[in-house]
Amino acid sequence: MSAVENHRTATVERVTSESTVRVSLDLDGTGTSSIETTVPFYNHMLTALSKHSLIDLDIQAHGDTDIDVHHTVEDTAIVLGDALRQALGDKRGIRRFGQATVPLDEALASAVVDVSGRPYVVHTGEPEGQQYHLIGGHFTGSMTRHVFESLAYHAQLCLHVELIRGRDPHHIVEAQFKALARALREAVEPDARMAGVVPSTKGAL
């Protein structure tokens, strides 16, 4: 039975003293989403991730944003990664690898995904100072890499993201999220030629 016939879904909830996060996703969706993290720019990025990956997302999160948005942003990425890993199951029948290069006006970003079971992140190219920009009044530029790391480690992805060029802080982040979305879409997509087969010489991912 192929992965698409199993209709790959997951729901994960995580409650700590810092945040409460609930994520439901459907890998075989159409890119519909309901996102509320109480961090507006992050909502925007996760909505773009859903739309361009075709992964349906329902994310509800809140936390101690009176201190900083860091905990809520990080914990949401952790739970999203956990849900993605659960929905992928044993990864039979997927393409496994995906890559995309996406422009947003002056910004251009590339992402490469391997659903490898071995978490690893390389994130390069952002201009010095990007990490200090406060985007939308809440989201600090440094959180971009942290989201990618938290997501990839918990989903067990090998992820390479490179900003090739960019000037506007908003565009820089959004191009990277959209590149990740398109690469992820390709990587988790069922491959008819690999139906029922784990795409690895080891027989497991």
What pTM value is reported for the model?
A: 0.95
Neighbours of 183 (CB within 10 A): 27
| Digit-coded pLDDT (tens) for 80-127 | 999 999 999 999 999 999 999 999 999 999 999 999 999 999 999 999
Q: How far apart (Å, rounded) are the C-alpha atoms in residues 109 and 100? A: 8
What does the pLDDT read at residue 6?
60
Nearest of 202, 86, 73 to residue 136 by alpha carbon:
73
* pLDDT confidence tier of residue 187, bands split at 50, 70 and 90: very high
Phi then psi for 196, rounded to 5 degrees? 80, 5
What does the pLDDT read at residue 195?
86
Contacts within 8 Å (CB) and 24+ apart, 129-133 = 130/169, 130/172, 133/169
Q: Bin 58: left if φ > 0, else alpha if -120 < ψ < 50, else beta.
A: beta
